Structure formats: C-alpha cells, structure tokens
C-alpha cells in the first residue's frame, strides 16, 4: 500500500474517533442540563421591594426557579395542589422584603391585632421614647434601622455645697442598650421611597421586657440618644463589661481643677471678693 494511502486511513480514523468523542460529550452535557432543569423547583419570592407592615397583594409575589438542592423546608414551593401563594395575599410583612427575596411563613402575619403588634418578634415588646433632632442623628434614624441607646445624665451633684473652685457636679454617659431595632418614628413604620429624613418626636423600639424597664428608668435619669449602627452584619449585644465616660475623661482641664492641680487650674481661678466687716468697732475682712 502506498504511504499516502496509509496516511489518509490514519487521518480518517483519528477524525472519526474525535467526532465520536465530541458527540458523546455533547449528549452527556445535554442530559446533565435536562436533569438539572428537571430538578429545579419554583420558589415564591417578592416581585418588588415591600416595606415593613405592608399588606401583600397578588402583584407583590412571583415564582422563581431555584435548584432543588438549594431549597430548604422554610421556602414556599409550588406543587401540584392549590396555589400556596394565595395564603400570603392579605397578610402583612413583619419586616421589609427586598425584590427576589423568598417568602416564608415567619415573614408575614394576619393584621388582626394591629400592624405594630404583628411586627414584633415573639417575646418582644414595643416601647416609645422621646427624641429630638440632635438625639436621633438629625432625623436620619429610620424604621428598620438598628441603633444603640446612650444615656447622658448628671450622676453626682451636691446641692447647696461649694468647694473653693465652685459647685461640685459630674456628668457621664454610657451605652445602656445595643443593636435595638427601630419599629417606627412617630406613627411612620416604613421609610419613605425618597429616603428623606424623618423629623419625629418619638421613636418606637423593639425590646425585651427587661430592656423596657431599663429604658423607662433611664428616661427619668437623663437624656437618651440613639446611635445609628451600620447596615452591615454587626454583632449583637456584647458580653464586655459596661463602661461609661465621665466629664473628667472628656475634659482634662476639669480633671485638673477637681484634683487640685495648681498648674491645671490657674487659668480658671474664680474671682474672690473681699468685704470689710465692722463689729462694734472691730474691723475684719472676709473673702467670698
């Protein structure tokens, strides 16, 4: 057989083998895709952004295809029976839902006892505190935000007593609650679509029964301020010992005055008035 014929035969065999390999691989890939498509399930999700406390309508819901392996018992999956989305229509949301976020039974409630009561997590309470524009981050604390509560108070005052350097008074602040959810500002339970600041007079917070007692007592002690937390996944209340910040830590000059440091209080000496007193001809001088 001629060499050229041998070469042509070899090339033909290689080409046919390669074609068979590619065809087999294409068939396997098609089968895998078909199996993956067959294993997908339809999960009930939010069709658009839904604020907390909103009553769901049919247009707020839609079905999305999810891999069956990604499912969990809490998801609402479309089956052969009655449409499970129907039971969500007319229910209110406990918290805001983002577009394409899966619906769960724990995310909604029947608005029978009131919207705010339904938004509370089991075992939690709602309590309102007075706020001002400065104490609520200039109105940028919104419903759904997480905040810390800081108490500022006059922790030591000796009424009617004076030292050589003036009245004795000491102020301090401390964080009394951490990572608390804001339910409402005044009667607004959802942030506006335009994101404008809410200048309210009260903030309603979600707290435990013990925390409600802490807030009530703290409100009688001094001024409460809300400290806005980041939207990131921050840790909850920490187990570290509680600390406070006194005025002497803020002002080194005040610390020097109270400690009697001669150099520290020379700049804040008080003016003393001398008065001459005549008691039956006996002259004496008294400084005040």
pLDDT in tens, 234-266: 666 655 667 788 888 888 887 777 666 645 445
What pLDDT sits at residue 185? 93
87 has a pLDDT exceeding 50: yes
Mean pLDDT score of the chain: 80
- Segments of 195-253 assigned E as strands: 202-207, 222-228, 245-246
Cα 212 versus chain centre, distance: 18
149 domain residue, yes or no: yes
pLDDT at 212: 96
Residues 148, 225, single domain; the answer is: yes
pLDDT of residue 125: 95
Q: Taking the model in full, what pTM does it have?
A: 0.63
9 domain residue, yes or no: no
Dihedral angle of Cα 225, 231, 234, 240, to the nearest 10 degrees: -10
Rounded distance, CA 144 to CA 147, Å? 10
Same domain, 78 and 198: no
Give yes or no: residues 143 and 215 share one domain: yes
Residues 45, 141 share a domain: no
For the stretch 12-46, pLDDT in tens is 777 777 777 777 777 777 656 655 555 788 899 99
Q: Is residue 200 part of a domain?
A: yes
For 172-231, write each residue's pLDDT tens digit: 899 999 999 999 999 888 877 677 888 899 999 999 999 999 999 999 999 999 999 997
Per-residue confidence (pLDDT) for residue 262, from 0 to 100: 47
- Do 124 and 169 fall into the same domain? yes
Higher pLDDT, 226 or 113: 226
Contact criterion met (CB below 8 Å) for 142 and 199: no
pLDDT score of 233: 59
Please state, in angstroms and rounded to a whole number, the distance separating the CA atoms of residues 209 and 212: 5
């Amino acid at each position: 057989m001629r060499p050229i014929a041998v070469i042509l035969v070899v090339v033909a065999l290689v080409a046919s083998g390669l074609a068979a390999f590619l065809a087999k691989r294409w068939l396997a890939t098609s089968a895998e895709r078909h199996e993956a498509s067959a294993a997908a399930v339809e999960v009930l999700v939010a069709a658009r952004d839904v604020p907390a406390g909103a009553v769901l309508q049919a247009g707020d819901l839609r079905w999305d295809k999810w891999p069956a392996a990604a499912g969990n018992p809490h998801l609402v999956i479309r089956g052969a029976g009655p449409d499970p989305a129907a039971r969500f229509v007319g229910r209110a949301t406990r918290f805001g839902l983002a577009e394409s976020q899966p619906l769960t039974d724990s995310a909604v409630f029947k608005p029978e006892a009131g919207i705010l009561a339904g938004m509370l997590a089991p075992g939690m309470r709602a309590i309102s505190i007075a706020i001002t524009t400065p104490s609520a981050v200039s109105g940028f604390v919104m419903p759904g935000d997480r905040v810390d509560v800081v108490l500022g108070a006059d922790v030591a005052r000796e009424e009617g007593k004076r030292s050589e350097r003036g009245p004795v008074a000491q102020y301090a602040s401390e964080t009394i609650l951490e990572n608390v959810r804001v339910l409402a500002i005044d009667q607004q339970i959802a942030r506006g679509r335009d994101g404008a600041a809410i200048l309210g007079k009260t903030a309603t917070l979600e707290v435990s029964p013990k925390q409600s007692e802490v807030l009530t007592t703290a409100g009688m002690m001094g001024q409460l301020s809300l400290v806005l937390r980041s939207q990131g996944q921050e840790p909850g209340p920490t187990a570290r010992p509680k600390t406070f910040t006194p005025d002497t830590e803020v002002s080194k000059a005040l610390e020097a005055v109270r400690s009697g440091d001669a150099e520290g209080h020379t700049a804040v000496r008080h003016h003393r008035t001398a008065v001459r007193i005549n008691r039956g001809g006996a002259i004496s001088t008294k400084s005040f």
